[in-house]
Amino acid sequence: MGAALILSAGWPALAAQDRVTQSEGPREGDPAANGRPVVDAAVTPTQDRLLDLAFDAAAAIPDRPHVVDRSRAMEVVATTSFELDLPNRALGYIRHLPDWRQAGGFADYAFYLAEHGDLQHVQLYLTLATEGAEKANDWQRDRIRVKVARVLALTGMDERAVELERGVTESESGKVDAVRVRRTGCSPEEFDSRIAALARIFEAGQFDGVRNAVEVCIEIVRTEAADSVRRERAIALIRSGWKPLPIPLRIEALMSLAEVALDRADKQGALAFVHEAREMMDAFTWSPEPEVALRGRLAGLRFRAGEEAEAKQDGEGTLKLFLDHKERIVNIYRGRALRPLAESWMAMHDSAAAAVVYGMVLEEGIVNINSRPRAEDLSATCASMALAGFEPDEAMWARMTEIRAGLRDPW
């Protein structure tokens, strides 16, 4: 059964005037452009300006020969817009993506619509995503199909979701299960069955399967807010089965669990995960780039979990770590290493410290003589500032504007 046929049943039929091409996107007068209950959240003028500068810098990268880099950088801005609850702004950016990521973006937009109760226009964007998948290569097509399957699972069309999942690559298979957990929860019998199935995946020890199973377990912990026994079973399963994952991914899992605990105002639980992650970091030998990035993120989580003074000390130590070892970091990756620390200083309500780090990020982002990495770094930094709620002063705005104006050959 083809993907388009899978989508055809169970949704209101699309009238001819409701259809839009991938290149056009929804236009004034289209049902997808009017009457949606899903609206963009309010943003500050600074966030508005930062997002547009981020997208403008990404779009400055020439398609030839850098279409992959251009599209990836533009996609980051769209993703940031979703995180800021700006779905329609994200859609506007998605319309300009030059490759298969546009189809994936349409699926992301459909997911946002479904998640926020606007089912009227979901099929339109699933159809656009499916049409784009048919033009993509194997792994790209699988990624889009799984994104579409996530929407179908979220809206109760699980049989069609299963059909779309069939035959996708190992790295993509299993990604829909977390959505199923979120949507339905589990009866006691279903919970035991799901845990047993996840245990088999962990026991098999295949990297992609284990990585996806960890994500499902984290979603179980998030969903089972009222059942500590179920949460602990899922957490124990992660710890018992994550051996095939490298240390950075285990730390990522612990940070995700800390975020889940903070979402339910369990600072003590979050702090336990933060301490476990820090102990894991201390026991491992790192290259400086991932160490700076992870320690930067952990500082913000530690602050939010209640150890505020200690978190600020961690932030200062992380900056020293960067300064002591930055020459060992490839210059195009220095900004990527530092941005999480700047975001954490914002989480720690210290905009002055964040300004220092963001200023360093901007300067490190232009060390390389080529404009492609400069554009990528400027775009990612502006998106980071918007997400963190950072307000650049006039001097920093002038510097960012100068960097943008200087994006030219050689790329």
User: Could you report the per-residue pLDDT of 45-63, keeping only the tens digit for each?
Assistant: 999 999 999 999 999 999 9
Q: What is the pLDDT of residues 272-296, one digit of tens each?
A: 999 999 999 999 999 999 999 999 9
- Higher local confidence (pLDDT), 166 or 333: 333
Asked if pLDDT for residue 355 goes beyond 50, the answer is yes
Q: What is the DSSP letter of 186?
A: -
Asked if pLDDT for residue 373 goes beyond 90, the answer is yes
Q: Which two tokens stand for residue 181?
A: 């957990």
**Helix, strand, coil % over all residues of the chain, rounded to 5:** 70, 0, 30
**What DSSP line would sit under 3-35, residue for residue?**
HHHHHHSSSPPPPGGG---TTT-S-TTSGGGSS
Nearest CA-CA partner of 20 in 81, 109, 86, 84: 109
- Higher local confidence (pLDDT), 275 or 172: 275
Confidence of residue 167 (pLDDT cuts 50, 70, 90): confident
Give percent of the chain above pLDDT 90.
80
* pTM for this predicted structure: 0.90
Asked if pLDDT for residue 408 goes beyond 70, the answer is yes
**Mean pLDDT taken over the chain:** 90
Separation of alpha carbons 319 and 183, rounded Å: 41
Confidence of residue 7 (pLDDT cuts 50, 70, 90): low
Q: What is the pLDDT of residues 15-39, one digit of tens each?
A: 323 333 333 334 443 434 444 578 9
Choice among 156-170, 201-215, 307-321, 373-387 with the minimum mean pLDDT: 156-170
pLDDT of residue 144: 96
Once rounded to an integer, what is the mean pLDDT over residues 196-215? 96
Alpha-helical regions (H) of 98-137: 101-115, 122-133
pLDDT of residue 280: 97
Confidence of residue 198 (pLDDT cuts 50, 70, 90): very high
Confidence of residue 9 (pLDDT cuts 50, 70, 90): very low
Separation of alpha carbons 15 and 169, rounded Å: 34
Separation of alpha carbons 45 and 386, rounded Å: 10
pLDDT of residue 123: 93
Once rounded to an integer, what is the mean pLDDT over residues 304-331? 98
Cβ pair 71, 101 in contact under 8 A: yes
Confidence of residue 372 (pLDDT cuts 50, 70, 90): very high
Once rounded to an integer, what is the mean pLDDT over residues 319-346? 98
